[in-house]
Chains A and B, each alone.
Chain A
């Protein structure tokens, strides 16, 4: 009977412990565009991050066009950590229609994200740091 109870306990622990928390790395990143790509001709939109209701974010979001490829550059950003943080281009401040650029690579530093296709930035006018798992906004930047 003790063996049976032990086996059940092991199973319960296995099931409960198999949940990923997906926290964001905290190491400083320094991804930069080449200097000749960051001129005003290449810079299309930019905005400063402000805090969201569930986290804090500072720094700048800039959209560059380089060799017909849009890139989102997050510069000098600092974001409070959380689970499953993603970088969105969104039509709304609280994202309903959005383009997921991927997981936030780090909570601080300079980072680059490729933007697939040519979205209409007059519609997708917000860069967001968003916790996808809990649908919580950590920070936003209006791109102008």
Chain B
């Protein structure tokens, strides 16, 4: 743990140690390619981002982008998606920290999930120096497509085959388990190389969603559920080209 703090302290000091020579350009436009790897799963993403730098020193930046993320895995567990079943409250933003109602969760093990999501994204960043920056981005709205896959629904110990689970087509960010569809988000640390290129270290949080077509979960309140979500935590790297 001490080593971890030392490494973080070193990075922060190294980042802050670079003095700003001159104000950064007002606009930050770039294309980015990123790849992440998790346990038996991974993703690649390509995006275009248009950020405005704000503030007197132009250290903060925010903007919009469009991002295509392809996610693939093997035998991944998707759990009951609707927020009212998954969490103790559906209040926007509060739901992120709300208790989990695991007693309502069933598991859909999608055998070969493969989802491509194209979404509008919101992007935020802070420039520590000419070379170092950090930021956060999150998908807002878009659509998904991908491969149908067989799946196994496990409900109260009973296993049932879903022959053709399909990717949920519509994505929208409503915070936490209120979300619909497949949405990507990243925390990152970025280092500007010489010229137009930058590299990023990424922590990714990705929602992927599948619908069942033949079978449904019967929730404790009697409603039928066909939406199941996989929450993916992974790390990766990216490369950006700035215009």
Contacts and interface: CB of A to CB of B under 8 A. Distances in A.
A8 B40 contact: no
Contacts of B236: 11
B75 A4 contact: no
A141 B118 CA distance: 46
A30 interface: no
Could you say which of B37, B150, B159 has the most chain A C-beta atoms within 10 Å of its C-beta? B159
Interface in A109-134: 132-134
B201 to A, nearest CB: 12
Interface magnitude class on chain B: 20 to 34
A98 B150 CA distance: 14
A18 B37 contact: yes
B58 interface: no
A114 B131 CA distance: 61
Contact of B160 (A11, A12, A96, A133): A96
Interface in A85-127: 95-100
Interface in A9-32: 11-12, 14-16, 18-20, 22
B111 A134 contact: yes
B42 A18 contact: yes
B49 interface: no
Contacts of A97: 158-161
A61 B237 CA distance: 50
B237 A7 contact: yes
Nearest 4 pairs between A and B by C-beta?
A135-B150, A15-B42, A11-B35, A133-B111
Interface of A: 1, 4, 7-8, 11-12, 14-16, 18-20, 22, 84, 95-100, 132-135
Given A8-B35, A99-B159, A135-B150, 16 more contacts: A1-B197, A7-B199, A11-B236, A14-B37, A18-B40, A20-B40, A20-B74, A95-B161, A97-B161, A98-B161, A132-B111, A133-B75, A133-B150, A134-B150, A135-B111, A135-B161
